[in-house]
Amino acid sequence: MADQTHLSNLSGNKKAWPVYLTLGNLPATRRNRPGSFAVLLLALLPVPPKLTKSFADHLQRQINADTLRGVFELLFEPLQNAALEGVNIDCADGKVRRCFPILSAWIADHMENVALHEIKSNVCPKCEVLPGELETHANSHRARDYARYERGERESASDDSRTMFETLGIDLEKNVFHRLHRVSAPGLHKPDLLHTVYLGLFKHLMDWISGFLKKHARLQAFDDNWKALPPYSGFFVPKKAYCEVTQWQGKEMRNLGRCLLGVLAVALRQPDSRQVIPFKHALDCVRALVDFNMMAQYRSHTPETIAYMEEYLYRFHRMKDIFLEFRVSKRTRAKVDKQRKELRHQRAQSNMRVAPSKRRRRLEEDRDEENELRMDMIHTESHFNFVKMHLLSHFSDHIRQFGNIPMYSTEFGELAHKEQIKDGWRPSNKNDVERQILHSYGRQHAIRMRLSNLNSLRCRGANLGDDVLGYLDKTTSTVSTPAPRGRILKGRRDDVSDVLDFCKVLGISLDRICLELIRYSRHNLPTERRLPEEPAILQLLPVELLTQLEIPVLAFQETDVYDIHRARCTGTHRFRNQESRNDWVWVQAGSEEMYGALRGRLRAKLVALFKIRDCSQDTVRQLAGVQMLSPVNSGRPSDVHSLVTVQLREDAREFTLVDIGAILGLAHLIPEGDRRWLVNSRIDLRTFNEIY
C-alpha cells in the first residue's frame, strides 16, 4: 500500500511517499481500526520534484524512474526468495507451516499506479482497453499479460511490437512489479471507492448536475434542499450552500452520495411537459451510480448482489448521455458556436423572401433545427473517455475473485499517515527526516507488539515476573465494555414532575394526554398492569421528561457490531445553541406486509421522551410521544426517483404514545414541502437494503 501525503506546506512543500505492508488475510475491520498494529511502515520512497518538459528534465525523469526501480528491487528482494522457496512460519494454532508469501495487492490511487506500472495516464493497469473505449460498458477486454509482451519483445524487436507497446502504453523495463515471482502485475491493481468513485466519478457527476440544474433553472431549489437536510447518525449536516463548498474531500463526497438522490429528486419535482423526460433520465443516471456505490460497500456478496451491481452500472452507462452536453470541451464549444453562426447567416439570407405571416413558424423550425445540429455536434465531439469511468467495470470481477471492495480500501491511509508518518515528522530534526520517521515508528511498533505478546501470554496463565505484570497493568488498556443492547433515555429535564407539568411543557391539553395514556395502556398492557383511568389520579402520576434516546442499531452485515443512534427531542428548547431538535425516527407500527416498501415501519417525529411511574404498582414505563407520518401511494417507491414519499395528514393525531422499544432508529427525511417528505433510503446501507 502506498499513498503520498503532505508533511508540511512550509519548508519547501515537504511530502512523504510511504509504503505500508499488511497481511491479506486479516479482516478489514480489524486492519483499519486505530491502534491495531496491522499496518506496518516499510519504507519511504524518494519523492520526485515537479518537472517541466525541457530536455534536462527529461533526463532527470529517466534518473528518477531508475532510482525508483532500484528502491523497489531492494524492497522486493526478501520476497523473491520466499515466494520461490517458501519460509517456515509459526502459526497461531501452534503449528509451523511452510508458507509462500507473495505480493497480492498494491493499493494506491491511479496516478501512482501509472508511475509504478509505467503506463500512460489514460490507460487501464488491468486490461488492454484502448483510450477511445474507456466510456463503453463492455468489460471483455483482454487482461494485460506481461509474459506475452516480454516474449513479443524478445522474438521481434521490430516496428510492429514497438507500435503495439505504444498503443497499449507499456514500458516493460520500468514496470516495478514485472519480474516478481508468482505475481501477476495487472492482478495487483484493486478497485478503490475513494479515488474511483468519490474523488473520481462523484466529482465529475456534480459538475454535470450543476450544469443540468442551471440549464433548467433548478440550482436554487437544489441549494435550498441541500441546506435543509436533517441530521443523521454519522452524517455531517451541510452548513454551507452547495455551490459555496469549495473543498470536496473524500469525507464530503461520501456524505454527498448518501443524500444526492433525494436532494436532486426534490429539486426536480413538478417538471413542465418538456422537462419530464430529461429529468427522469437524469434521476435514473444518478440513481444508478449512487446504488452502484452503495452496493460496492457491502462486506459480503451473493451472485444476486453482484448481478445488481452490474445492472446498476449498465443503467448508468445507458443513461449517462443526458449529461454529455456538460462535458463539452472549449474546442467543441468553439466549433458549436461557429456552426451556429454560419447557420444563422445562411438563414438570414433565405428568410428575407418569406412572407411575414409564415415567419414565426419558420423561426420555430429554425430554432429546433439549430438545437438538433448543436446536440449532434456535441455527441460526436464530446465523450466520457476517462480512465475512472472504465475502472468501474472491473469491480464485479474483483468481488468474484477476491471478495468485498472495502477490504482493499485506500482509506486506511489517513490513519496510518497520522500514526506512522506525521507523529514521527513533528519531533524530527527536519534534516535526516526519513531515517528518523522510520526509526521512530519502527521502535514504537516493536515495543507495542512485545507488550501484546506478553499480554496474550499472561491471559494464557504464563508465569511472568512481577515487574512485567506491573508494567502491563500500567500500559495496556482494560478490555472495552461490550456495546449496550438496550435503549437508554438520557438528558433529564428538571421542569417536569408530574403529568400536569408535562401537559404545560408540551402545550398539549390534559384531556388529550389522559386519552392517549389510557389508549396506550389498554392496547399494550395486560389488564392487571394497566394505568389508572381516573383523571384525578392519572394527572398526578410522577413523570420524568428526557431529551435523548440512545438506540443501538445492529450494523449492516454484522452480528456483534452496533451503531448507536442518538435521537434528540428537545421540545421547544434550543439544542447546543442552535434550533430545537426533534428528530425523525422509525417506529414499528405493524407487520412486515404493511405499508409497501416500508415493511410495517412508519416514520414519526419525536414529540416527547418520558418515564411515567405508576405508584399503585410501583412500575416505571419508558414511553415516547410521537407524531406519525403516513406513506403516500401505499408506500410504493416512485417510478421517477425510486424513493417513498410520506406525509403528515391533516387528520393525523398530534400525539401517539409508543413504548421506546418500538423505536427502531433514526430516520432520514428530505422535506418536499406541503407536509410531505421523501424517505432517504440511501442514507446508510441498512436502510438501503431494507427499503426498495
Residues that bind Zn ion in the complex, under the rule CB under 5 A: 124, 126-127, 129
Least distance from Zn ion to the Cβ atom of residue 4, Å? 24
- Which residues, in sequence order, are bridge partners of residue 420? none
Least distance from Zn ion to the Cβ atom of residue 396, Å? 13
Helices 433-459 and 466-475, axial angle in degrees (round to 10): 120
How wide is the angle at C-alpha 259 spanned by C-alphas 256 and 263, nearest 5°? 110
Could you tell me if 448 and 147 are in contact, meaning their C-beta atoms sit under 8 angstroms apart? Answer: no
DSSP, residue by residue, 324-383: GGGG--HHHHHHHHHHHHHHHHHHHHHHTTS-HHHHHHHHHHHHHHHHHHHHHHHHHH--
Q: Which is nearer to Zn ion, 126 or 218 (CB)?
A: 126
Least distance from Zn ion to the Cβ atom of residue 143, Å? 8
Q: Any idea what DSSP says for residue 415?
A: H
Could you tell me if 499 and 513 are in contact, meaning their C-beta atoms sit under 8 angstroms apart? Answer: yes
Q: Which three cell numbers stand for residue 217?
A: 433553472
Q: Which is nearer to Zn ion, 149 or 326 (CB)?
A: 149
Q: Which is nearer to Zn ion, 126 or 317 (CB)?
A: 126
Least distance from Zn ion to the Cβ atom of residue 127, Å? 3
Least distance from Zn ion to the Cβ atom of residue 11, Å? 40
Q: Which is nearer to Zn ion, 129 or 259 (CB)?
A: 129
Q: Which is nearer to Zn ion, 124 or 551 (CB)?
A: 124
Element holding 551 (H helix, E strand): strand 543-554
d(CA 397, CA 139): 9
Least distance from Zn ion to the Cβ atom of residue 630, Å? 48
d(CA 562, CA 564): 6
Q: Which is nearer to Zn ion, 107 or 538 (CB)?
A: 107
Q: Which is nearer to Zn ion, 58 or 142 (CB)?
A: 142
Q: Which is nearer to Zn ion, 196 or 440 (CB)?
A: 196
Q: Which is nearer to Zn ion, 393 or 681 (CB)?
A: 393
Could you tell me if 663 and 586 are in contact, meaning their C-beta atoms sit under 8 angstroms apart? Answer: yes
**Which of 165, 280, 264 lies closest to 222, judged by CA?**
264
Q: Which is nearer to Zn ion, 405 or 663 (CB)?
A: 405
Least distance from Zn ion to the Cβ atom of residue 171, Å? 18
Neighbours of 178 (CB within 10 A): 19
**Using H for helix, E for strand and C for coil, what is the string for 636-679?**
CCCCCCCCEEEECCCCCCCCEEEEHHHEEEECCEEEEECCEEEE
Which residues neighbour 360 within 8 Å (Cβ) at sequence distance 6 or greater? none
The Cβ-side half-sphere exposure at 266, using a 13 Å CA radius, reads: 27
d(CA 244, CA 306): 37
Q: Which is nearer to Zn ion, 192 or 223 (CB)?
A: 192
Least distance from Zn ion to the Cβ atom of residue 394, Å? 6
d(CA 521, CA 621): 10
Q: Which is nearer to Zn ion, 126 or 301 (CB)?
A: 126
Least distance from Zn ion to the Cβ atom of residue 358, Å? 56
- Quote the radius of gyration of the chain (alpha carbons, Å): 31
Least distance from Zn ion to the Cβ atom of residue 250, Å? 23
Q: Which is nearer to Zn ion, 124 or 585 (CB)?
A: 124
Sign of the CA dihedral 514, 516, 522, 526? negative
The Cβ-side half-sphere exposure at 92, using a 13 Å CA radius, reads: 3
Could you tell me if 614 and 629 are in contact, meaning their C-beta atoms sit under 8 angstroms apart? Answer: no
Which residues neighbour 74 within 8 Å (Cβ) at sequence distance 6 or greater? none
How far is the CA of 461 from the CAs of 214, 464, 468, 474, 479, in angstroms?
69, 9, 14, 19, 17
Q: Which is nearer to Zn ion, 136 or 275 (CB)?
A: 136
Sign of the CA dihedral 153, 158, 163, 164? negative
d(CA 94, CA 643): 54
Least distance from Zn ion to the Cβ atom of residue 153, Å? 22
Collapsing DSSP to helix, strand or coil, 10 comes out as: helix
d(CA 164, CA 153): 10
Q: Which is nearer to Zn ion, 175 or 582 (CB)?
A: 175
Least distance from Zn ion to the Cβ atom of residue 306, Å? 18
Least distance from Zn ion to the Cβ atom of residue 198, Å? 20
Q: Which three cell numbers stand for residue 363?
A: 423561426
**Which of 275, 296, 136 lies closest to 218, judged by CA?**
275
Amino acid at position 348, single letter: A
Q: Which is nearer to Zn ion, 191 or 665 (CB)?
A: 191
